[in-house]
Structure 1
Amino acid sequence: MPQQVRGVIARAKGAPVELVDIVVPDPGPGEVVVSVAACGVCHTDLTYREGGINDEYPFLLGHEAAGTVESVGEGVETVQPGDYVVLNWRAVCGNCRACKRGRPQYCFDTFNAEQKMTLTDGTELSPALGIGAFADKTLVHAGQCTKVDPTADPAVVGLLGCGVMAGLGAAVNTGGVSRGDTVAVIGCGGVGDAAVMGARLAGASKIIAVDRDPRKLDWARDLGATHTVNASESDSVEEIRALTGGFGADVVIDAVGRPETWKEAFYARDLAGTVVLVGVPTPEMTLEVPLLDVFGRGGSLKSSWYGDCLPERDFPMLVDLHQQGRLPLEKFVTERIKLDEVEEAFHTMHAGEVLRSVVVL
């Protein structure tokens, strides 16, 4: 039988979010109903509310989540009721040209549940990133569920579902940071600090965090940065070069996603170094760089989408590292809030006062 539960929706552009009753259908073929235990408040949810993704209102917000599988639909074999899972927004198809080449992390045909959750009047909801986890329960595709250690704190490991994985993967997967590398990270919010953590995990010898907010630089230092640069007080490119013997960093990660920060990353890297763009630009942004500089400096210019992760490979490994005390993911949880406090959490996040607010259900 379909279930009626609570959910947080964005009904119109810029309007405050609402806690309302929603209807979750029984899972169909390939689908799963998950009882949500916790869900992080990500900037992407605010972007949905502001119309920055599309205009398919109303949105059911929330996507950085962990919970327990309640029921499964026909043909589901990868999970079963009672499994503890972290949700992801890239259920790989297994059939596209990337998957067939053994590169499922680049799948070109990811998918979500086919059925729609609705308001009680039948209005269909658009779940954020195909998840919609600011709710007591949500409907997703089975491929969006990754089983992890059931003793892990859902408020902590659920953050792997988006921002933390995006930043950590930008360093480890996309940037290929290895032991002894020098790394610079521009922008030290949640994604940037996760990149700092990833660089530390990979064994970087020097990790330089760049931001304009002293509080964010303190967060970065706590998560593994060996040096910090306040970009409001000095030229970040010159500072990074000075800290790397005049050469520039082996890997520079732009976690802001603006033309000016990308250029800083480009010129702050060593010859044949790597630039990784993980911050998300807006559609109107353009970039102009002398082509001779691109040719003359060599190296790699990459973008990182979801940290080039493969959830079934990366989530269990990272949760295990966390459980062993080797990956302090708990430091990203600034506060734990209730489901009816999401709107307030948006204001707190926008003010830069938290790494993550996490809704605990």
Structure 2
Amino acid sequence: MKTQAAVLYELNQPLQNEELTLPALKPGQVIVEIAYSGVCHSQLLEARGKRGQDRFLPHTMGHEGAGIVREVGSGVKKVREGDRVVLSWIKGSGADIPSTQYQGSKGVVNSGAISTFLQYGIISENRLTPIPETMPLREAALLGCAIPTGAGIVLNTLQVRPGSSVVIFGVGGIGLSAVLAANLMNATLIIAVDIFDHKLEQAKALGATHAINAQTQDVEQVLEELTGGKGVDYAIEAAGRRQTMEMAIASVCAPGGLAVLAGNLPAGERISLDPFDLIRGKRVLGTWGGETNPDRDIPRYVTLYQSGKLPLEKMITDSYSLDAINSALGDLESGKVGRAVISNCSFKRDEQ
């Protein structure tokens, strides 16, 4: 069996689209026809060589998507042929098969437990979550990373309470997901911070009560005015910048304010922290995919979407073909897109 795939051969060079041959399935692996794949900022950092040395070149990419199971390896119990599934880098139940190798025209191409920038992917059982027939695959693709991380921070990590105040630095896919969830939890003050007006407008459409353009406004001054000088209850950093991470910590109230750092800095870059902020009672946390349990949380997000409480369709700003993967990464890098998806043009859509 063959598949088209986008392959990273060299850091900071364009991905190459080529035909790969799929190997025989190992026990615990599944072949998925990938309908849609999300384009995530961490994938951009990886392609641009900003995550440090890459020992697995050449390799496939992508870690968020949705599709249909086409073949099941021995021992797999979680899904069966024909199931619709969400593909996520976050581990759920089932066999954990960490890697596979495809065959390309230039030799072996490595792949991890999940890759989604292809037409057909070999996926580890524990990176799949079945979803109902009624869930559109385009929107379901966001349930692999953007929603579990962004909404998961709000619901699982922070456990935001009704009536509280939240500031979100960076309203790309993760940040917009956090805005959606904060609105769902009835936070009173939901402040979006970014440098692009079109992203801020999208955040307001998804529930942000206020928007701050960090290029044209003094963020600290506006936050002080909005909170009466007290600071916010919760801060989420999803921009992946040193300045916004430090600002997120500074923006929460003391004592009791909690800042979560979700963005990815380039490898080797560090932030500064005033220990007196901790002595005053501010708290700082990291997050691993919004502390998501895919088997528990993805069905919950499906239910919220189908009840109209989680308008995922409003998050998707652009769609690209697999052949245009480098344009998608470039547009993400320049800030033109919020959450973009890669569409499998050969996929026979049986929805909508």
Q: Do both share a fold (TM > 0.5)?
A: yes
Q: Which of 197, 206, 214 is 1:223 aligned to? A: 206
Q: What does residue range 319-338 of structure 1 map to in structure 2 within 5 Å?
A: 319-338=302-321
- 8 Å contact kept, 2:252–2:282: no
Deviation string 1:73-96 (CA, Å, 9 cap, x unpaired) is 1111111111110011132579xx
The answer to whether the aligner puts 1:172 opposite 2:170 as a matched pair is no
The change in CA–CA distance for 1:230 and 1:114 in structure 2 (over 3 A counts) is: closer
- 8 Å contact kept, 2:8–2:16: yes
CA shift for structure 1 position 48: 2.3
CA shift for structure 1 position 7: 0.9
Q: What does residue range 62-81 of structure 1 map to in structure 2 within 5 Å?
A: 62-81=62-81
Residue of structure 1 equivalent to 2:175: 192
Residue of structure 2 equivalent to 1:353: 336
The change in CA–CA distance for 1:133 and 1:348 in structure 2 (over 3 A counts) is: same
| Distance across 2 between alignment mates of 1:281 and 1:252 | 17
Residue of structure 2 equivalent to 1:139: 122
Deviation string 1:135-154 (CA, Å, 9 cap, x unpaired) is 11111111111011222221
Q: Which of 254, 258, 263 is 1:279 aligned to? A: 263
How many residues of Structure 1 are paired with residues of Structure 2 in the alignment? 341
- 8 Å contact kept, 1:57–1:126: no
Q: What does residue range 145-160 of structure 1 map to in structure 2 within 5 Å?
A: 145-160=128-143
| Distance across 2 between alignment mates of 1:13 and 1:350 | 15
Superposed structure 1 runs of 4+ greater than 6 Å apart = none
- 8 Å contact kept, 2:99–2:110: no
Residue of structure 2 equivalent to 1:38: 36
| Distance across 1 between alignment mates of 2:44 and 2:242 | 22
Q: Which of 134, 156, 162 is 2:145 aligned to? A: 162
- 8 Å contact kept, 2:100–2:111: no
- 8 Å contact kept, 1:65–1:161: yes
* RMSD over aligned Cα atoms: 1.9
Residue of structure 2 equivalent to 1:105: none
- Shifted more, 134-143 versus 229-238: the winner is 229-238
- Shifted more, 311-320 versus 276-285: the winner is 276-285
**Length-normalised TM-score, structure 1:** 0.89
- 8 Å contact kept, 2:17–2:323: yes
Secondary structure of the corresponding residue to residue 196 of structure 1: helix
| Distance across 2 between alignment mates of 1:59 and 1:46 | 14
Q: What does residue range 3-82 of structure 1 map to in structure 2 within 5 Å?
A: 3-53=1-51, 54-55=53-54, 56-82=56-82
Unaligned segments of structure 1, at least 5 residues: 95-109
Residue of structure 2 equivalent to 1:107: none
| Distance across 1 between alignment mates of 2:39 and 2:90 | 19
- 8 Å contact kept, 2:87–2:127: yes
Deviation string 1:296-326 (CA, Å, 9 cap, x unpaired) is 1x14211112111111111111012112211
- 8 Å contact kept, 1:112–1:144: no
- 8 Å contact kept, 1:117–1:139: no
Deviation string 1:216-258 (CA, Å, 9 cap, x unpaired) is 2111111110011122233312312221232111101111233
| Alignment-mate amino acid for residue 279 of structure 1 | G
The change in CA–CA distance for 1:233 and 1:114 in structure 2 (over 3 A counts) is: closer
Unaligned segments of structure 2, at least 5 residues: 345-352
Deviation string 1:302-361 (CA, Å, 9 cap, x unpaired) is 111211111111111101211221101111211222221111112222221111221221
| Alignment-mate amino acid for residue 287 of structure 2 | S
* Identical aligned residues as a percent: 34
